[in-house]
Amino acid sequence: MAAVLDVRHLSIAFPRATPVPDLSFTIEEGETLALVGESGSGKSLTALALMRLLPRNARLGEASRILFSGRNIAQLPEPEMRRLRGRDMAMIFQEPMTSLNPVMTVGRQVAEVLELHEGLSRRAARKRATELLDLVRIPEAHRRLDAYPHQFSGGQRQRVMIAVAIAAHPRLLIADEPTTALDVTIQAQILELLDQLRRDLSMALLLITHDLGVVAQWADRVIALYAGHKVEEARPQLLFGTPAHPYTQGLLAASPRLRADYHYSDGPLIEIPGSIVSAVGEKGCPFAPRCPVARATCRTAMPPLLPQGDGHFVACPVTTLREAPHGHSVGL
Amino acid sequence: MSRPHLTLVSDGLTLPPEADAPASPAPAPAAPAKPAPAPLSAWSNVHAADTIRATSAQAQLAPPDSRRALKAFLKNPTAVTGLVFLALVVAAALAAPVLYPDDPLAMVARPLIWPGQDPDFPLGTDSLGRDVAAGLFHGARVSLMVGLAATAIGLAAGTLVGALAGYFGGRLDAALVRLIEIFQSIPSFILLIVLVAIAQPTIATITVAIGLVTWPTIARLARAEFRAIRAKEFVAAAKSLGYGHTRIILREILPNALPPLIVTASVMVASAILNESALSFMGMGDPNVVSWGSMIGAGRELLRTAWFLTALPGLVIVFTVLALNLIGDGLNDALNPRISAER
Amino acid sequence: MHQFLRLSRVLVRALIHAVPTVIGIVILDFFLLRLAPGDAADVMAGESGAATEETMAALRSRFGLDLPALDQLLAYLSNLAHFSLGYSPRYNMPVSDLILQRLPSSLGLMGISLVLALVIGIALGVVMATQAGRWPDRLLSVLALLFYSVPSFWIGLMLIVLFSVKLGWLPSGGAGSIGTDATGLAALLDQARYMLLPALSLSLFYVAIYARLARAAMLEVRSQDFIRTARAKGLSPAAVTLRHALRNALLPVTTIAGVHLGGLMGGAVVVETVYSWPGLGRLAYEAVMSRDFTVLLGVLLLSSVLVILANVVVDLLQAWLDPRIEAAS
């Protein structure tokens, strides 16, 4: 399979901080890759960097390569980049309540993409927009076309956002916390829809989330991000079965509902002590200040990401040197 | 909106030192005036302590905040420029009787000396031989006085109406809001003309009239502030202490409603000065005093030949009004809660 | 269809809301008229030269001026209901006719000024917002503050000095060339030449207001999520600004434009006297000078009603711009 997206040495810097120092990963055609991490891990920034929609004061490092269908778009001039956005790569955002223009009908907001990228006439775009709203299962799409966003529920608005995103058949769809703001029951429906569209349209899906439950159910591959560093990468079964990095282990321990045998009365909710802010300006492994097994060497240099076999990569020399990298041994 | 006192009453934050002696038998100055009967003294003590905590903590915290605002204000180049400009105008107004002790309306030289022609009259003379510079200096007195006094009247009337409407709500609020709406629908300058025409133009009537046409702006703002603050915990606490409405309005709410009113007041002074000059320009000013607007009105007759007579007083008006607007912008930056919250 | 229904509901609600305000203004107007020194009898007596006590009394009873205040108010109201604002002895015609005669040129001046102010102000505000913090923004901000501080009558006079006296390009006053029989485009151009300076003088202050407001609104809107969505669609910056940001930013600008309509009317009075523009403002000025309070208060009443009507239009405009505004029953 060909890589739709091949990111190499991505670095994102602000005037006073570098939240993503050096990140590499790929997404294959038709694959769902999940980027997991708590807020501040740089996952949303990474998504914006791929779309080249970073805030004005953020800079991409010179060594950054973003190969989209084999073409490096990291330094692509803005006019050319605009031809890719919304057509070849699209994005949906966390806040469906505010991500749609409140004074424009949803039909126009979908049709706008079609007129721009597919060169459709206003009329044809309107017809196609109805089909798209139908596709994302907005009931009575032809009647809802002229309604405004405030007349839709949160879940429906996110469906409209998805319709906007898939309107021009993108090869890559980036979904940044697409269900975080929604009710639990709606969450599953939206993810189901995204997964089905991914298969039907053979898109690659980059799913950005902090919800390990979502990852376990929908991702083909998972990358755990901590302070902009990839600390672990694996298939979900592997990651949840034998998490190797102390951070991933901590994350899993803090998500009790992933363990089938867990009952809330079994013990207190576990949290990883400290916060991600403590990583700012650290030289070595960013997790070291919060890590229960950190050694002196962890604080001097970032450990390399090493293959553990079966597509499992881990950036921790302490847990991988031991024979059995089990979550329970760390005891977070 | 972050206001320092809001968290103080309900929770047990660290008490300021002087409030640490609630058990002292001496009645606290802030305690309710009505002495509590003996069996209830324990309770009244608790209340008194709360009162002290609320008021003194407020008093303790208020200065650092206003000091912070003042610091931000003085660091702002916009505000400082405005202050310097305004200081020059105030200095001119104060110096006028010293530099030009004679009546600025008196003829002192031959008419229509251009600026720079005669060193005795650096800004020239008008068609009646009156010294333009003397007029400008004395005009500063009139403009500043009318501006400040009219704003004070508008501020007082507007705050009163806004406070009553916002604090009491209900039917009174509905009626007062309608009153505000009526006055805001009437073009204020036309109403001003009518009022001055009815009352005969003197400095006093003009000042009162300007105050009367500008109060609705303040009233709207004050009403919004009072409505918002009325719902806060410390007001409920003050009510539970049995304070009267007057005390709550004046001592509890008003100090907290002031910042946005102050910002608006500085711009109101500017617009009062503009209103006075427009009135005087149209020949509806006090004929017995020299005002920048009346100088422009007089100079207008000679616009084709001696345009400096129109230009100079206008420049002075622009300078003064600009100073006040710069100060207003600076105050807004310093007191605007949204910006300070971002810092 | 739904849009039309919604807008008509908003219109009805705004009109109903305006009624008590209009009544309040009428009553205020009546009491101001009573406060005014001298009544119609005095004016008429003054006009005719000499009058005895008896003739004055006769005049008063003929015009109902000797009735109690309440009866007079009712009489005033019933006159208003018949669109009668009283009679001006000085102009020897009904006040309402006098005002209607002057109304079009005032509305023209204010309309053009408002359009100028909105177009220039919003354009400047958009430019300032896109350049926020850089030198064009700073320069325009200072300029806006300067415009905000300039008396309209003074800038009017200075424009006359520059464009009429020194350059001789534009007329210094009046509303059209006298004695020309130009028609069509030529007549329109001739009118435009007379209109330009007064409209510019009147709009400058409002250009400053709308520019500052539009800048703030654009900056506010620019940070919203839906702007990011629009960019993620691949829209050009111009399309993002004009199609998505501007319409949202216009909402606060229209609100404030409504608030300032009264001010614009007042400003027109001063500017009309500068340029001898034959409008309502000029009429008000003449009425003050001749102490004709019936005319003066007629102007006050009518201009207030105009402001109220204009605010109804603003309500409608806002509802049209913002689909979230629903008419509450």
B17-26 pLDDT, tens digit per residue, is 333 333 333 3
Query: B96: exposed, middle or buried (C-beta count within 10 Å: 0-12, 13-18, 19+)?
Result: buried
* Cβ atoms within 10 Å of C162's Cβ, excluding its own: 14
What is chain B's percent helix, strand, coil content, to nearest 5? 75, 0, 25
pLDDT value of position B28:
36
Does the domain formed by C102-289 have CATH 1.10.3720.10?
yes
Positive or negative CA dihedral for B67, B215, B157, B85? Answer: positive
**Whether C262 and B283 lie within 8 Å, measured CB to CB:** no
Question: B111 touching C, CB under 8 A?
Answer: no
Pairing, β A20-28 against β A71-72: unpaired
Domain spans of chain C, in order of start: 102-289
Question: C270 touching B, CB under 8 A?
Answer: yes
B13-25 burial: b if 16+ Cβ within 10 Å, else e: eebbeebeebeee
Cα distances (Å, whole numbers) of residue A287 to A244, A278, A325, B56? 14, 8, 17, 46
Q: Which residue has the tokens 């994005």?
A: A91
A174-204 pLDDT, tens digit per residue, is 999 888 878 888 888 888 888 998 988 889 9
Determine the Cα–Cα distance for residues C166 and C158; give it in Å rounded to an integer.
11
Chosen for mutation from C149, C289, C315 (greatest number of chain B CBs closer than 10 Å) is C149
**Mean pLDDT for all residues in chain C:** 81
A17-36 pLDDT, tens digit per residue, is 888 888 899 999 889 999 98
Question: A70 touching C, CB under 8 A?
Answer: no
Chosen for mutation from A54, A99, A108, A164 (greatest number of chain C CBs closer than 10 Å) is A99
pLDDT of B249 higher than 70: yes
Residue A59: which residues within 8 A CB-CB, separation 6 or more?
Answer: A12, A13, A14
C294-307 pLDDT, tens digit per residue, is 788 888 888 888 88
pLDDT of B198 higher than 60: yes
Chains C and B physically touch (3 or more Cβ atom pairs below 8 Å):
yes
Positive or negative CA dihedral for A276, A280, A282, A286? Answer: positive
pLDDT value of position A125:
92
A-chain residues within 8 Å CB-CB of C248? Answer: 101-103
Determine the Cα–Cα distance for residues C227 and C220; give it in Å rounded to an integer.
11
**Whether C234 and A102 lie within 8 Å, measured CB to CB:** no
Q: Which residue has the tokens 């622009």?
A: B318
pLDDT value of position C182:
61
A-chain residues within 8 Å CB-CB of C321? Answer: 103
pLDDT of C315 higher than 60: yes
pLDDT value of position C119:
93
* Cβ atoms within 10 Å of A206's Cβ, excluding its own: 26
**H/E element, A6:** strand A3-13
pLDDT value of position B48:
32
ipTM of the complex, rounded to two decimals: 0.83
Q: What is the CA radius of gyration of chain B?
A: 25
Average pLDDT over residues C231-251: 89
Cα distances (Å, whole numbers) of residue A108 to A128, C12, C243, C244, C248? 11, 29, 11, 11, 15
Edge-to-edge strand ranges of the sheet holding A89-92: A89-92, A172-176, A204-209, A32-36, A221-226, A229-234, A313-314, A306-307
CB B104 within 8 A of CB B131: yes
**Whether A93 and C230 lie within 8 Å, measured CB to CB:** no
Positive or negative CA dihedral for A233, A238, A239, A244? Answer: negative
Which chains touch B (3+ CB pairs under 8 A)? C
Structure tokens at B278: 């427009």
Smallest CA–CA distance from C225 into chain A, residue = A99
Residue A324: which residues within 8 A CB-CB, separation 6 or more?
Answer: none
pLDDT of B282 higher than 90: no
- What are the backbone angles phi and psi of residue A307, rounded to the nearest 5°? -70, 140
DSSP character for B94? H
A90, β-bridge pairs: A173
Is A4 in a helix, a strand, or coil? strand
Average pLDDT over residues B46-59: 34
User: Any idea which of A87-96, B49-58, C103-112 has the lowest mean pLDDT?
Assistant: B49-58
pLDDT band at B339 (very low <50, low <70, confident <90, very high): very low
Residue A90: which residues within 8 A CB-CB, separation 6 or more?
Answer: A164, A165, A166, A167, A168, A170, A172, A173, A174, C232, C233
Determine the Cα–Cα distance for residues B75 and B73; give it in Å rounded to an integer.
5
pLDDT of A258 higher than 70: no
pLDDT value of position A261:
52
pLDDT value of position A61:
86
Question: How close B324 gets to chain C, by Cα (Å)?
Answer: 9
CA angle B17, B23, B29 (to 5 degrees): 70
CA angle B298, B299, B305 (to 5 degrees): 140
Positive or negative CA dihedral for C52, C57, C58, C59? Answer: positive
Structure tokens at B197: 């025409």
CB A101 within 8 A of CB A82: no
Question: How close A115 gets to chain C, by Cα (Å)?
Answer: 11
**Mean pLDDT for all residues in chain B:** 73
pLDDT value of position C262:
82
Question: A99 touching C, CB under 8 A?
Answer: yes
B221-246 pLDDT, tens digit per residue, is 889 888 888 888 888 788 778 787 88
Determine the Cα–Cα distance for residues B35 and B342; give it in Å rounded to an integer.
46
User: Any idea which of A63-67, B236-240, C93-97, C172-176 has the lowest mean pLDDT?
Assistant: C172-176
C56-69 pLDDT, tens digit per residue, is 676 666 656 666 66
Determine the Cα–Cα distance for residues A54 and C15; give it in Å rounded to an integer.
48
B-chain residues within 8 Å CB-CB of C274? Answer: 300
C190-226 pLDDT, tens digit per residue, is 777 788 888 888 899 999 989 988 998 888 888 888 9
pLDDT of C124 higher than 90: yes
CB C300 within 8 A of CB C86: no
Q: What is the CA radius of gyration of chain A?
A: 21
pLDDT value of position B29:
37
Average pLDDT over residues C14-24: 86
A38-74 pLDDT, tens digit per residue, is 877 888 899 999 999 888 888 888 889 999 988 899 8
Structure tokens at B129: 């031989």
Percent of chain C residues past pLDDT 70, beyond the cut: 84
pLDDT value of position A174:
93
**Alpha carbon distance, N-terminus to C-terminus of chain C:** 19
Chosen for mutation from B180, B192, B194, B267 (greatest number of chain C CBs closer than 10 Å) is B194
**Long-range Cβ pairs for the range B91-95 (8 Å, 24+):** B92/B136, B92/B137, B92/B140, B93/B137, B93/B140, B93/B141, B93/B144, B95/B137
User: Any idea which of B40-49, B86-95, B102-111, C107-116 has the lowest mean pLDDT?
Assistant: B40-49
Determine the Cα–Cα distance for residues A298 and B201; give it in Å rounded to an integer.
84
Question: How close B46 gets to chain C, by Cα (Å)?
Answer: 47
pLDDT of A325 higher than 70: no
pLDDT value of position C38:
63
Structure tokens at A160: 């409209």
User: Any idea which of B95-109, B178-192, C310-324 has the lowest mean pLDDT?
Assistant: B95-109
Determine the Cα–Cα distance for residues B3 and B44; give it in Å rounded to an integer.
28
Structure tokens at A99: 């991500």
pLDDT of C123 higher than 90: yes
CB C284 within 8 A of CB B193: yes
B212-225 pLDDT, tens digit per residue, is 888 998 898 889 88
Is C313 in a helix, a strand, or coil? helix
Question: B212 touching C, CB under 8 A?
Answer: no
Average pLDDT over residues A155-168: 90
Which chains touch C (3+ CB pairs under 8 A)? A, B
**Whether C226 and A116 lie within 8 Å, measured CB to CB:** no
**Whether B186 and C300 lie within 8 Å, measured CB to CB:** yes
Q: Between A and C, how many residue pairs show a Cβ–Cβ distance under 8 A?
A: 73
- What are the backbone angles phi and psi of residue A88, rounded to the nearest 5°? -95, -30
DSSP one-letter string for B138-190: HHHHHHHHHHHHHHHHHHHHHHHHHHHHHHH-HHHHHHHHHHHHHHHHS-HHH
The model's pTM:
0.77
**Whether C323 and A83 lie within 8 Å, measured CB to CB:** no
A-chain residues within 8 Å CB-CB of C234? Answer: 82-87, 113, 116-117
